[in-house]
Each structure stands twice: as structure tokens, then as C-alpha cells.
Chain A
Amino acid sequence: AQKVTQAQTEISVVEKEDVTLDCVYETRDTTYYLFWYKQPPSGELVFLIRRNSFDEQNEISGRYSWNFQKSTSSFNFTITASQVVDSAVYFCALSEASGNTGKLIFGQGTTLQVKP
């Protein structure tokens, strides 16, 4: 069964703090893709990053970094030196290569509030 779990429902931090959003996934496929999306109050889902199951190289992009570990089925996302504009709902999503074309399976989302 395919499933994405974001155990953190809400996180509140003060500006400039670092924050990590957790994501755990389940899939039987050997080829799959993982994503992080951001949903600001306007409602549009904004793509942040994509990783395929064969690429465990972690990446840093500006204030954002990602930690993909197949051994623990986790794909965590860290914001360094958070800013008020980072306040949004963050979704982790899974896409499988076989049999489920065009379908993203989303976690329940983590609401991040960054206070000034």
C-alpha cells in the first residue's frame, strides 16, 4: 500500500530558527519519486523539490535542505534561518512509477508558522 505520513501537524518557530519537517513514506515499488510542495494562504501548491528513488544524494539549496534515507523510508525537509514568509502548509508527496500514472499521494501536511 502507498502511504505518506507527516506526523507533525503544526510547528511554530520564531524567525531565524531552523526547522525540520518530517516525512515517512510506504511503497512497494522500487522506482518512485518524492516531492515537497508548499501551500501558502493563497492556496496554490508550489513545487519545491523532487527526488527519485535511485538518488539519495542530499541537497542544499539556499536556506532549504533535504535528507532522503531509503533505509528508514524518510524524506525530511529543513529550513535554515526561517523567515515569516516561510509560513505555509508543507506537503510531502509520493509518485510511483508503475501502475499509478499521474497520481500523487500526499501526506496530511504540516502547518508551519514563523513568528517575527
Chain B
Amino acid sequence: KAGVTQTPRYLIKTRGQQVTLSCSPISGHRSVSWYQQTPGQGLQFLFEYFSETQRNKGNFPGRFSGRQFSNSRSEMNVSTLELGDSALYLCASSRADTDTQYFGPGTRLTVL
């Protein structure tokens, strides 16, 4: 079974721009969660989607948004990028909300 895939793997953007990251979950997994990893704050939960509905959201500003499609693929969008948004963004999928989450390789975003 193919694992979680994330595209692109690397991104360089400038302040004020927006960015869209994509995540394809493991086949059959309907829950997709997103995390931000930075050296200072560690791994922090962004949001979780299940059957195209956002069910949970972490403590991030409204510039961070996401969506999930009918095939369970998910995208997250960050608008008006700030330097502090530079991070590794990890996507994870699971069959259900309390099931084990399996992670993708991440997208490393650099904001200049």
C-alpha cells in the first residue's frame, strides 16, 4: 500500500505571498491531519479533516486554512506569508480519528 504523499517537497516563497500544500492519504484513510514543525515550537497541530469536514482546529491564525476533497486528498493554504511560517509541514492520515496516524515526508517551506 502506498504511503502518505505530500507535494511539493520544498517551497521557497517571499513574505506576503500565499502557498498551497497538497496531501494524498493512504488508500482507505478518511482522516487527514496537518502539523507544523519548527525548531522553536516543535510539532503543533493545525487541523483535521474527515469526510470533507474540518472537525478540529489548532491554535493558528485564520491565514492557515485547509480543505478535503471527496477522494480524501487534502490541501492546506497559508495566505499572506510571514517569516515565521517557515517550517516543515507534515500531513498524516488515519482510518478514523483515534486510529494511528501515518505521516508523509513533509513539505519544507522557506519564507524569505
Contacts and interface: CB of A to CB of B under 8 A. Distances in A.
Contacts, number: 61
Contacts of B33: 102-104
B88 interface: yes
- How many residues of B sit at the interface, in one of the four size bands? 20 to 34
- How many residues of A sit at the interface, in one of the four size bands? 20 to 34
Specify the main secondary structure of chain B where it touches its partner.
Answer: strand
A46 B105 CA distance: 10
Interface in B73-112: 88, 90, 92, 94, 97-98, 100-106, 108
A69 interface: no
Interface of B: 31-33, 35, 42-43, 45, 48-50, 55-56, 58, 88, 90, 92, 94, 97-98, 100-106, 108
7 contacts: A35-B100, A44-B106, A101-B48, A101-B56, A102-B48, A102-B56, A104-B92
